[in-house]
Structure 1
Amino acid sequence: MATLHHSSFCPHSRFVRLVMAEMGMEPQLVEERPWERRDDFLMLNPAGTTPVLVEEGGLAVPGGGVIAEYLDETRGLGLSGIRLLPEAPAARVEVRRLLDWFLQKFDQEVTGYLVTEKIHKRFMTSQHGGGPPDMNAIRAARSNVRYHLKYIGYLISRRNWLAGSHLTYADLAAAAHLSCVDYLGDVPWDEDEMARHWYARVKSRPSFRGLLADRVAGMAPADHYADLDF
């Protein structure tokens, strides 16, 4: 059985959990607090970031995007018509473009701020950067999420899924990041109905159940977080 070192509200970890669930994989989950920089974890990934997938043979695969590519190379052909990274070169380019958008741009402008300031800092010592949240960072993230939501609505108004006619890594990456923000109640769903309907479709998939069961100790999710018809 493969092992996934993850952090429950790390959006990159959530992305890989969704991917593996869509592929029918049930890894052993090991919760990490990356800021603690455990020696054994740093041996797997010197960058000290989650997620890291460790195969039964000991191969350690670090990072959401790298793991997604690795799983497509090792398991993708077995998915046949539901391959999450399409076979056609142009379609693969579009999925990778959107992966970069959500795993990098959305993370840097929205998720990274909100998850760090509102969740992780609660559990960090002052030595590791813990303390009260930076409200300027939170306000910036809440402002930025609006144009990302509009972009999702723009894409889904022209396509069945974000990158084309089928569910791909792009949808799972976007939904993974939004799920963290949604837990905190910081997604203004009433501003884009198309984006909300798309997220409801992804959120209703069986692969999403594990994410919806996650909870932050001492912090309840937004009322609609686990509601499939929100």
Structure 2
Amino acid sequence: MRIDIISCVPNLLDSFFAHSILKRAQEGKYVEVVVHDLRDYSVNKHRSIDDYAFGGGAGMVLQIEPIAGCIRALQAERAYDEIIYLTPDGELMEQKMVNQLSLKGNLIMLCGHYKGVDQRVRDLFITKEISIGDYVLSGGELAAAVLADAIIRLLPGVLNDETSALTDSFQDNLLAPPVYSRPFDFEGNVVPEILLSGHEAKVEEWRYEQSIKRTKERRPDLLK
């Protein structure tokens, strides 16, 4: 998989992709992540990429020309399965969506900024609009990082234990059960005995029951 991220503040993403699982995924050639500076595609000598909105009002708008130039330059090099715009009014990001995107080959993620992008960008280029929650960020970079992280960890070979991602919360519309590690007894708080029984079937049954219980308590809407 290749993920191209278009941003007007690309340095915000440097650290995010340079550590931990995301770093190992790139080093292992499971994914290639390339961040593009939108200002490199500016059509004027000042490298500006935004302007006032027609009709007035507060806030600046990202212009269509630099964005179109960047997307078209990328499309000239390879085919893309989705061109995603990270925006608060997009489709709410859920695990099922992430699962589907993890099966794609190449993705472009466009980060919004200021008051957003010229609507013609969305009409002409964008194939999918995604929101990571009902709130507004200063830009789409953090949202792109969240989406990329959720996708990359699902790619075969990225996680040490390939079954780990399959048992995450939301994969089966249930929250994950509680987990425990050493020590067995911490100040009188002990690990449930069933987890030390060595009986795999009973352990899995206990975990499933705990998932249902936790989901009923915290996210009953998922059980619908």
TM-score (norm 1): 0.30
Higher strand content, 1 or 2:
2
For the pair shown, the structure with the greater C-alpha radius of gyration is 2
Greater percentage in helix: 1
Q: TM-score, normalised by structure 2?
A: 0.31
